[in-house]
Homo-oligomer: A and B are copies of this chain.
Amino acid sequence: MSAAYHHENLRETLLELAERSVQRSGVEALSLRQLARDANVSHAAPARHFRDRRALLDALALDGFQRLNRAMADAAATPGTFDARFRAIASAYVTFAVDNAALLGLMYTVKHEADASDALVEAGRGSLRAAVELIAEAQAAGAVTAGDDPERLALVAFASVHGVAALATGDLLDGVSVAEATDATVDLLLRAIGVTQTARD
């Protein structure tokens, strides 16, 4: 009964199934055994690709960071004013966070575990770095007050945007739509960061 013996691409299949499961039922509920059943494969087959549950979660988190970083890089690369790009990058982050709430939680949890892999830690810094670069660039171009440390500004901006996402997924937005909350936050950040009027329009 080796109906699905050589599964061709079990690793990818497992990752996809795992992500769907995490999205639906949370990280806790994820079981290698169940995953194997879903993939029509024996309960120990996944071990070939993922030593244990933790390894699968790590891979899931890494994949998540890579997708997030790509989305943010794309947003930052769209041509336009600093204002527009800032808005786009914030929106990209929040969109990803809301669409992949459970995954994002996993990503941060896994990343700051003691023995997280280098690749994971590195990928985890990607989105923050995108923010720093955008702001430093804007500062150099005079679209942002030059006085403040760009890393510091990016940190605060990133924190604020991440916070909006966290509130959104935590169902604390209380009627306010995600887009509205994001816009309000971006408005506030732009106001505080001190964009010149000409750069904003």
Interface residues of A (CB under 8 A from B): 26-28, 105, 108-109, 111-113, 124-125, 128, 151-152, 155-156, 158-164, 166-167, 169-174, 176, 181, 184-185, 188-189, 191-193
From known contacts A189-B192, A192-B188, infer whether A170 and B108 are also in contact, taking CB-CB under 8 Å: yes
- Tell me if A's interface is mostly helix, strand, loop or mixed: helix
The chain B residue sitting closest to A192, CB to CB, is B192
Name the one of B26, B159, B162, B192 contacting A109, with C-beta atoms under 8 angstroms: B26
Of B128, B151, B167, B173, which is within 8 A of A162 by CB?
B167
Chain B residues with Cβ below 8 Å from A185 are 156, 159-160
Residue of chain B at shortest CB distance from A108: B170
Chain B positions within 8 Å of A191 at CB level = 192
For residue A54, give the distance in angstroms from its CB to the closest CB of chain B. 9
Select which of B151, B156, B170 is within 8 A of A112 by beta carbon: B170
- With contacts A152-B176, A156-B181, A192-B188 known, is A166 near B108, CB below 8 A? yes
Taking a contact as CB atoms closer than 8 A, the residue among B112, B159, B164, B181 that contacts A181 in the complex is B159
Contact status B155-A176, CB under 8 Å:
yes
A-B contact pairs, 16 of them (CB 8 A): A26-B113, A111-B170, A128-B174, A151-B176, A152-B176, A155-B172, A155-B173, A156-B164, A156-B181, A156-B184, A156-B188, A159-B181, A160-B185, A161-B163, A162-B167, A163-B164
Best-buried of A125, A155, A174 by chain B (most CB within 10 Å):
A155
